[in-house]
Amino acid sequence: MAVGSGCAAEPPDGGSSGGDGSRAAGSSSAVKPAHGQQRSKESGEKGAGEEAGKKARKEAGKEAREGAERADPAEALAAYAQRMKKTQAARAAAAKRWRLKQTPLLAPAPPARKPKITTRKGFEVDHQKGLPPVFTTVPTKKKIVFLTIDDGAEKDPELLRMMSELEIPYSAFLTDYVVRDNYGYFEKMQDRGVALHNHTLNHRYMPALSYAKQKKEICEQQAKIEKRFGKRPRLFRPPYGSYNEDTLRAAKSCGVKAVPLWAAEAFPDHMEWREWDRDLHPGDIILTHFRGKAEWKGSMADMIRNVMKVVTAKGYAVARLEDYV
């Protein structure tokens, strides 16, 4: 895989994804306490207070009934289908505006439970057990792929608009030294529903560094992202896709749950494939970069047009990585 300044793959090529027993990616998402719902029990409910209380209980009952209706599987499914139909119509119009060859396909509803993810065969380190799994494809039978964008040098406002209007999900893996001149750009991205993940402080080649230095590169970026964007990443991608046991140990020590690599890489004018069949497969992770016309032959929008042309022509939809990992 010949790649300029980006994240070329180094690990040995394995067979199919899967492999020996590793741990599943942790999936417990924090539940926020429902503020504004605390009601003091001591305060006597009388007069106006009682009326208010009655009203609140009535409202709560109504909400519960509606919730129960929504919970009816057939109705929920119908409502979902209706919503998706609307979404897809808006998307077709957006696809035209953004000069996409075809309207992006609609991803199926996210799974109720995330799949168990194991390290890809041939990608294990010596003592892989208990360390975050390293994988290039998410186990699924659905015709979906995932789009991930690395580094963060190019901060093209057009990309934010384009992806929002097309409703194409993607995940960003950020390296601080190229991001820090404009954190605001990635804040806007996050506001649009994009999850921000860890791609180290300085984009160093991890296997050349000591455990302590790797830990600094990974864990200080964890802290930085948490401090700047309010959320500690669960996912980490080593620069160039290169790692050793120290990398995974260091990542685990500061909260990384999984290490997604990629099965294909997108450019404005071509794709590069990891697999011998030079094709997409269900659950494949696609890598691309925040780059501009100075670094490659086109804009971010050109790159998205190209990758979506390939993805859609092959019958795949782009799904949200965080719904599965």
Q: Which residues bind Zn ion (CB under 5 A)?
A: 7, 150-151, 239
Considering the complex, state which of residue 177 and residue 211 has its C-beta at the smaller distance from Zn ion.
177
The phi, psi pair for 231, rounded to 5°, reads: -145, 130
Minimal distance in Å, beta carbon 243 to Zn ion?
Answer: 13
Q: 137 - beta bridge partners?
A: 284
Considering the complex, state which of residue 7 and residue 219 has its C-beta at the smaller distance from Zn ion.
7
Longest dimension (CA), the chain: 76
Minimal distance in Å, beta carbon 166 to Zn ion?
Answer: 24
The rounded distance, in Å, linking the Cα atoms of 206 and 241 is 9
Minimal distance in Å, beta carbon 180 to Zn ion?
Answer: 15
Q: Give, rounded to a whole angstrom, the gap between the first and last alpha carbons of the chain.
A: 25
**Strand boundaries in the chain, DSSP class E:** 134-135, 144-151, 171-174, 195-198, 259-260, 264-266, 271-273, 285-289, 317-319
Considering the complex, state which of residue 151 and residue 284 has its C-beta at the smaller distance from Zn ion.
151
Minimal distance in Å, beta carbon 201 to Zn ion?
Answer: 12
Considering the complex, state which of residue 94 and residue 251 has its C-beta at the smaller distance from Zn ion.
251
Q: 134 - beta bridge partners?
A: 259
Minimal distance in Å, beta carbon 175 to Zn ion?
Answer: 6
Minimal distance in Å, beta carbon 200 to Zn ion?
Answer: 8
Using DSSP's 3-state secondary structure scheme, residue 87 falls into: helix
Considering the complex, state which of residue 9 and residue 145 has its C-beta at the smaller distance from Zn ion.
9
One-character DSSP codes across 103-143: PPBPPPPPPSSPPP--PPTT---TT-TTSPPEESB---SSS
Considering the complex, state which of residue 131 and residue 172 has its C-beta at the smaller distance from Zn ion.
172
Minimal distance in Å, beta carbon 274 to Zn ion?
Answer: 16
Q: Which residue is nearest to Zn ion (CB)?
A: 7
Q: Are strands 264-266 and 271-273 parallel, antiparallel or unpaired?
A: antiparallel
Tell me the helices (H) and strands (E) count for the chain, helix number first: 9, 9
CA triple 45-46-49, angle to 5 deg: 65
Query: In which residue are the tokens 């199919």 written?
Result: 16
Considering the complex, state which of residue 240 and residue 316 has its C-beta at the smaller distance from Zn ion.
240
Query: In which residue are the tokens 């168990």 written?
Result: 116
Considering the complex, state which of residue 151 and residue 176 has its C-beta at the smaller distance from Zn ion.
151
Q: Are strands 144-151 and 317-319 parallel, antiparallel or unpaired?
A: parallel
Q: 198 - beta bridge partners?
A: 174, 236
Minimal distance in Å, beta carbon 178 to Zn ion?
Answer: 9
